[in-house]
């Protein structure tokens, strides 16, 4: 298993637990959607996968390596995390600088990094903005730039938090097509259940910090009673 979570409890100091005894395993290459109503613990859960959140108790291991202070740097090389807000990830003067930042800091040759960056900029239709500051791009374009910066690091695991937010239908479909062709292990948090259906083979449903269902995406996403009992609705295409 490339991801192994055991008896995970997470609570901020002085607050009730947000995650309650979460245990799950994810195989290499698996595409997993994490769904649930607002406040169910989705983002809190996936932010444990690169050590951004630290368990109150329990453990998280990536490719057999338990996440702790001594292993955090190695784990973060394996796990690419796309934040819900791309502005939290774009901090350089130009978009191209954001794409080069990670690779150059781990020793990649600059010319090789530039070639790789050009490929991703073209893939996401933002090549013409390479020399522009991030704030001059639309929210959707910034989201694609942030994802390109993550993919520049060749993560073994791609974790995405609400990746379709602010994408128009054309670019949402472009993202779906791109993800369907990639081979990384993927963990996706999204309220967009049609997107989850198109990109994930397995779904984990959370409510109040607990796993309510874990199984085949088509089974969970078509189960009206299960979804409604957990404060969700069927994907639009099934309504």
- Condensed to tens digits (0 to 9), the pLDDT of residues 10-27 reads 998 878 899 999 999 999
For residue 12, being part of any structural domain is answered with yes
Where do the H-state alpha helices sit in 10-154?
42-46, 72-78, 95-105, 110-123, 139-151
For residue 101, being part of any structural domain is answered with no
pLDDT at 110: 95
Based on the number of CB atoms within 10 Å of its own CB, is 235 exposed (0-12), middle (13-18) or buried (19 or more)?
Answer: middle
Residues pairing with 194 in the sheet: none
For residue 127, being part of any structural domain is answered with no
For residue 205, being part of any structural domain is answered with yes
For residue 178, being part of any structural domain is answered with yes
Alpha carbon separation from 222 to 70, 90, 203, 235 (Å, rounded): 43, 37, 11, 8
Higher pLDDT, 13 or 111: 111
Angle CA(191)–CA(196)–CA(200) in degrees, nearest 5?
145
Report the CATH number that the domain containing residue 176 is assigned in CATH. 3.40.50.300
For residue 117, being part of any structural domain is answered with no
Residues pairing with 204 in the sheet: 34, 214
For residue 206, being part of any structural domain is answered with yes
For residue 111, being part of any structural domain is answered with no
Average pLDDT of span 146-162: 97
The Cα–Cα gap between 144 and 175 comes to 9
Domain that holds residue 187: 3-85+155-238
- Residue 32: φ, ψ to 5°: -120, 130
Domain count along the chain = 1
Q: At what angle do helices 95-105 and 139-151 cross, to 10 degrees?
A: 20
pTM assigned to the model: 0.95
Task: Judge whether residue 239 has pLDDT over 90.
Answer: no
């Amino acid at each position: 298993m490339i991801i192994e979570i055991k008896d995970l409890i997470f609570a901020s100091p002085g607050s009730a637990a947000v995650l309650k005894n979460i245990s799950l395993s994810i195989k290499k290459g698996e595409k997993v959607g994490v769904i649930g109503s607002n406040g169910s613990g989705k983002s809190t859960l996936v932010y444990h996968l690169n050590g951004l959140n630290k368990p109150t108790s329990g453990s998280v291991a990536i490719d057999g390596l338990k996440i702790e202070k001594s292993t955090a740097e190695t784990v973060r090389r394996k796990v690419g995390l796309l934040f819900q807000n791309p502005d939290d990830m774009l901090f350089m003067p130009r978009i191209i600088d954001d794409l080069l930042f990670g690779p150059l800091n781990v020793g990649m040759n600059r010319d090789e990094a530039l070639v790789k960056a050009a490929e991703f900029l073209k893939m996401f239709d933002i090549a013409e903005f390479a020399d522009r500051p991030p704030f001059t791009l639309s929210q959707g374009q910034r989201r694609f730039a942030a994802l390109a910066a993550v993919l520049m690091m060749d993560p073994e695991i791609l974790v995405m938090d609400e990746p379709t937010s602010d994408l128009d239908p054309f670019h949402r479909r472009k993202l779906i097509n791109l993800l369907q062709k990639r081979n990384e292990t993927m963990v996706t948090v999204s309220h967009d259940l049609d997107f989850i259906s198109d990109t994930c083979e397995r779904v984990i449903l959370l409510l109040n910090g607990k796993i309510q269902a874990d199984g085949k995406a088509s089974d969970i996403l078509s189960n009206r009673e299960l979804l409604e009992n957990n404060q969700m609705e069927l994907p639009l295409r099934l309504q």
